[in-house]
Amino acid sequence: MLAIFNTDLLVAMIRLSTPITLAAIGATICERSGIVNIAMEGIMIVGAFFATVVAYYTGSPWLGLLAGVLAGGLYSMIHAVATVTFHLEHVVSGAVLNVLAFGITRYFMVLFFGHPGTTDPIPKGLGEYQFAIPLLSKIPVLGPALFNQTPIVYMSFVLVILFTWFLKKTKVGLHIRAAGEHPLALETIGVSVYKMRYLGVLISGLTSGLAGAFLSIENGVSFTEGMSNGKGFIALAAMISGSWNPVGAFLASLFFGFADALQIRFQVFKLLPIPEELFIIFPYLATVIAVAGLVRKSRSPKADGEDFMIEKTGE
């Protein structure tokens, strides 16, 4: 049994945690601005689909990547308009977007490919651009797992660092945090809470679109309906488990990626006489246990999920 705990398991953990990481750190920025976004699942589906369409018709996974990111950003703006401008309840808006995403992608899939289900695969995905970082990739055990990866995996590492710096060290980052903690005070000093919240939602849309693109164009180019498979909701759990902090969300995502990688290897090696269905639910069970154990210790932004309306006084 110890044979499954090797470098290959770590590599799988990193790969499987990448889309969760990307969505989780984006959700962190969004909720730090005060907007609850449970629509990451739907945004990932939209990003995955349009990344596939563009990569399929252009032959370029890089253009597909860009399309997935932009599609995620644009789709998230529906949530921003609904919650920030029209003051719709955040969870309701997110739930609607999740359901709508499946309908939209199914419609356009029939339109572009002539059938629902799964697109015809194209072998060349971004995974072909895997490269090792000199010296670092030679570190025993961790080197091959962390520093011999594909472009989107490296992007996720960079974004974790960038978002941490952004929230703590930049003026805009501080304004986003203020929008989620003391929005009235922020508005009082002349900074638009609406703009900060729009920005927070947009960032979560862009990163969730990137997460979706990872799913559909990393290992070849192919889209399957529902291929996000709950990863958007796991990303929410990672954000909560990570205490609304990019680094914490990243570490929680690694844990969920490890649980997923472990169940796959247990199935492949058939080490335990347990029905396959029980292995499949293991990552989701780990998610529930982690959130249940950590949610009481986590503190969300004070104004997270609270509506903010600018009062207009008559002249």
Q: What is the 3-state secondary structure (H, E, C) of 9-71?
A: HHHHHHHHHHHHHHHHHHHHHHHHCCCCCCCHHHHHHHHHHHHHHHHHHHCCHHHHHHHHHHH
pLDDT at residue 209 in the model: 98
Q: Between vectors from CA 100 to CA 203 and to CA 282, what angle results, nearest 5°?
A: 75
pLDDT, one tens digit per residue, over 243-299 is 999 999 999 999 999 988 888 877 766 666 677 667 777 777 877 887 777 666 678
- Residue type for 236, please? L
- Mean pLDDT computed over 41-59: 95
Q: Is 125 exposed, middle or buried (0-12, 13-18, 19+ CB in 10 A)?
A: buried
pLDDT, one tens digit per residue, over 223-245 is 999 899 899 999 999 999 999 99
Domain boundaries, the chain: 7-127+150-295
Secondary structure of residue 135 in the 3-state scheme:
coil
pLDDT at residue 290 in the model: 75
Would the CA dihedral through 224, 270, 255, 287 be positive or negative?
positive
Task: Count each helix (H run) and each strand (E run) in the chain, helices first.
Answer: 13, 2
pLDDT at residue 219 in the model: 85
Give kind and range of the element (H or E) at residue 148. Answer: strand 148-149
CB 233 within 8 A of CB 249: no
- Residue type for 216, please? S
CA 90 – CA 236 distance, rounded (Å): 14
Residue 31 has pLDDT above 80, yes or no: yes
CA 41 – CA 27 distance, rounded (Å): 11
- Dihedral, CA of residue 207, residue 304, residue 105 and residue 230, to nearest 10: 80
In DSSP notation, 103-137 reads: HHHHHHHHHHHSSSSBPPPBS--GGGG-EEPTTGG
pLDDT at residue 281 in the model: 79
Q: Which CATH architecture has domain 7-127+150-295?
A: Orthogonal Bundle (1.10)
CA 1 – CA 119 distance, rounded (Å): 37
Residue 77 has pLDDT above 90, yes or no: yes
CA 125 – CA 54 distance, rounded (Å): 12
Nearest to 29 by CA among 138, 155, 166, 151: 166
Between residues 310 and 122, the one the model is more confident about? 122
pLDDT at residue 314 in the model: 46
Q: What is the pTM of this model?
A: 0.93
- Residue type for 89, please? E
pLDDT, one tens digit per residue, over 126-180 is 888 999 999 989 998 889 889 999 999 999 999 999 999 999 999 999 999 999 9
pLDDT at residue 315 in the model: 40
pLDDT at residue 7 in the model: 80
Close Cβ partners of 177 (under 8 Å, ≥ 6 residues apart): 32, 33, 167, 301
Residue whose tokens read 């594909």: 150
pLDDT, one tens digit per residue, over 169-223 is 999 999 999 999 999 999 999 999 999 999 999 999 999 999 999 999 998 889 9
CA 109 – CA 112 distance, rounded (Å): 5
Residue whose tokens read 């907007």: 35
pLDDT at residue 270 in the model: 66
Secondary structure of residue 223 in the 3-state scheme:
coil
pLDDT at residue 313 in the model: 45
Helix, strand, coil % (nearest 5) of the chain?
A: 70, 5, 25
CB 204 within 8 A of CB 27: yes
